[in-house]
Structure 1
Amino acid sequence: MTTPNTTPAGWYDDGSGRQRWWDGQQWGTFADELNAPAATMTAAPIASVEPVPKKLNVLALVSAIVAAVGFIFACIPGALIVGWILLPTAFVLSIVSLFLKGDKKWLGIVGLVLSIVGTIIGVVVFASVLAASVDDAFGSGETTVTEPGDSEKEAAPAEEESTDAEAGTRDNPLPLGSKISNSDWTVVVNSHNPDGNTIVAEANQFNEPAPAGSHYEIVNYTITYTGADSSYSMEVMVDAVTSAGNVIDSYDSFVSLADDFSLDELYSGGSLTGSQAFLVPDGEAVLVRVQPGFLADEVFIKP
């Protein structure tokens, strides 16, 4: 900058864009500038300072998204496997994101919460699916009963019997000859022999006699398979329940009868009639308990 001597003292641009003190004759030294009156200073441009934006915590964002997607899949029975893969992944990502620098760490907390809650829901859904699958595989539908003389009446569910509440329970057992049915099996208890010692002894020479204080009772019943394809007679379970509340099954004593049930396979419509022997303590009355399938409702018959 070429400045004439007539220029009064003050702060001016020295030509380089920097403000310096002009004493009226020449540019001032650093000491002159320190002692220069501030009132005569021509304001220099001040660079604006912008705030530095915070870095986004990308991992926290990813964990929240993965957890949300996994949560949704965990609620869908047919897509549980996807949820089981995404939720643990989201859990790990969210934990790591909380230790990283960056804004919006709350997304990591969201991912953590969703991954935990989603896992709990996934377990519940999986348990429900598993229970339904087991019931489909081994269940036999709703159990219905028809008492003798009621063959023309529509069979009603045993647990919803309106004319005879709770018919078929221990407190209100059904009579002999009642038909117990579901979608796979029909069972009819034909007879009960409270003194079966002679029958057991004559059936097989290797049968052991009843120990002192007990005796054999024989239950004869008929099973009919009504399901699809085929199944085995062992699915139908018949036991004796004593008045003291003890359950006795045919496996409690190794007795072979002439008309024993074995691992018989039946196709739809096939039927078998046989007997089982139960070792009962003397002085105890028994009820016959029938379950037409592994997961079927139990029904009690009074001999």
Structure 2
Amino acid sequence: MTDPVNPPAGWYDDGRGALRYWDGTQWTEHTAPLAPAADQAATAAYPPSPADLTATAPYGAVPPADQYATQQFGTDPYGTRAAGTDPYAIAPYGTTTTTTTTRPAGGPGGESTGANVVGIIALVIAVVGFVFACIPFVQVVGWILLPIAFVLSIVGLFLKGRKWPAITALIVSVVGAIAGAIVAAVVAWGIFGQLVDSGVIQDEIRETIEDELGTPVPNESPDPGDDDEATANGLAFGETMEWSDGVTMTVSEPEPFSASDLSAGSDQAEDLVFTLTIVNDSTENVQPIVVSTLSSGGTEATRIIDVGAEGGQVGIPPTTPIQPGESITWQEAWSVADPDSLTMSTSPSFVYEAATFTNVSQ
């Protein structure tokens, strides 16, 4: 019984410049030359004989005799046979007949058009890893996802199906790794520069010299935040911390936060969001390197990263230098155990003494 899905048994163009026999379920090894061009069809009316086909088939194997009887040797000089039903039928009086055959899917010369699931997964992971690799302080997520995407993209290249998702994932994972390395280098250089400007490195060198020589060395690089230590503690949410060089920072009162499906970190009783603002009223640029911490009822809160939040991404600290007279504002979301017992420690960068904001009564 003929399979209603597959084409019927017969000779078809295999896409490689020859005819090949399809037995109704799969391709066989039997081949024959293609029919002549339309302008030569009148002088070449008959297909190869069984002996000719035997020469091209492995070990002399040929299709069954009844197949040749029905497929090759039609004798219909007056064209009474239905057009297109026999690719080897003789056209009446030397005229040419156009026949249309459909090559069975997946046969020789065909291309697989199925979905490459592994390649698609690799592409999704590569895109997410690229995004995280470009975000300072959460790059570790990108460094985990990008190698996974790279390996999956290599696997996808060797699987059946469309290759473009795997190829794209491979490119994105490589470019993401390069971009992440550049971002990490820029952040590290900024931190090093701030440590130099603040005198931290000089203090380390001075202490090393003192240990070696056994004599004190004058300290000419006082910490600009030393005078602010007493003021930096015990601020209420919504108040503003001001450092001695004119830089200020404000942390708003917490508000309820609804995480999107693209968020990560919402794992405690309640989610809150804070709005942070840094104003640079100093005479120098401020490179923000904000590392905030939050405790709730004696339990460390979990930072929420949400790139799909309404109104823009949440939880990603700023990295753009703040010019004198300018300011920058962003939001940080946290998952907390007790919203009535919050204490946040934060500062514009490592140069400044950390300020403490709280809603706990002193």
Greater length-normalized contact order (CA 8 Å, ≥ 6 residues apart): 1
Same structural fold, with TM-score higher than 0.5 when normalized by the shorter chain: no
TM-score (norm 1): 0.40
Q: Which has the larger radius of gyration?
A: 1
TM-score (norm 2): 0.34
